[in-house]
Amino acid sequence: MSIDQFTQMEKVSLRDRVSRALRAAIIAGEMEPGVVYSAPTLGARFGVSATPVREAMQDLARENLISIVPNKGFRVTEVAEKDLDDITQIRLLLEPPIVRDVTPLIPAADFPLLRDLAAKIVAGAERGDLVEYTAADQVFHLTLLGYAGNPRVTTLVSDLRDHTRLFGLASLAEKGELVDVAREHFTIVDLIESGDRHAVEAFMHTHISQARGRWARPAD
C-alpha cells in the first residue's frame, strides 16, 4: 500500500469516526435544533481539525440530519413529536419479533461478544458520556438484528434510530438512572441465552417503548 493510499484510508476513517460521533450527539440531544454549530468548534471538541468535521457534516446533510448554514456551520434538523411516535411504532413492529425469531439462531460462542457490547453501553452511562452511550446502544441493537440476515431491516432501523431524539437521556444521567437503563441490555442477553423467545420479545417491546417515553423530550 502506498503512502497516498494509507493517508486516504486514514482520512476516510477519521471522517467516518467524526460522522458517527456527530450522529450520536444529535440522537442523544447534546446538539439541539436551532443552535448553529461550527466545524472548528466541533473539531476542537473531537480533537481533530475542522476538515473531517466539514466532510462529516456534508454526509449528515445529505441524510437530512442537519442543514448547512453558509459560512457559519450547521443546524440540527428538528424532529416533530409525530415523527418520534411514528419512528417508535415502526421499531416496535420490527425489532421485538425479529429478536424473538433470531434467539435460537445466536450461537453460544457469541454471547461473550454481546455482553461486551452491553458493557460498553453501561460504561458510557457510568461516565455520563451520552455520545458513547448512544453509539454503543446502536451497535448492540443493530448487531442483534444482524442475525436475521436481512440487511434491509438493519439499514431501515439504523436510519430510524438516526432520526430519533433522546433528550431525556441527560436528565436520566443527572438523576443517576441511566446506568439502570443501560443494564437492561444485559437482561436482553440473559433472556436470549435462556432461550425464552417470548420473554425476549416482551422485554424488547418495553425497552424500545421507553425511547418514546422517559427517554424522549416529553410532549408539551
Q: pLDDT tens, 127-186?
A: 988 888 988 999 999 999 999 999 999 999 999 988 887 777 777 778 888 899 999 999
pLDDT of residue 144: 98
More confident: 33 or 115: 115
The answer to whether residue 217 scores a pLDDT higher than 70 is no
pLDDT of residue 26: 84
14-18, 75-79, 179-183, 192-196: range with highest mean pLDDT:
192-196
DSSP secondary structure letters along 28-55: TTSS-TT--B-HHHHHHHHTS-HHHHHH
pLDDT of residue 8: 40
Mean pLDDT over each residue of the chain, to the nearest integer: 86
pLDDT of residue 7: 35
pLDDT band per the 50, 70, 90 thresholds, residue 219? very low
The answer to whether residue 4 scores a pLDDT higher than 50 is no
pLDDT of residue 11: 46
Distances (CA, A) of 45 to 110, 113, 155: 35, 30, 29
pLDDT of residue 10: 43
Q: What is the mean pLDDT of residues 37-50?
A: 87
Q: What is the mean pLDDT of residues 37-59?
A: 88
Q: What is the mean pLDDT of residues 68-81?
A: 85
More confident: 65 or 10: 65
Query: pLDDT by residue (tens digit) across 80-99?
Result: 888 888 999 999 999 999 99
Pairwise CA distance, residues 182 & 180, whole Å: 5
pLDDT band per the 50, 70, 90 thresholds, residue 2? very low
What is the residue whose three cell numbers read 416533530?
A: 80
The answer to whether residue 1 scores a pLDDT higher than 70 is no
pLDDT of residue 208: 92
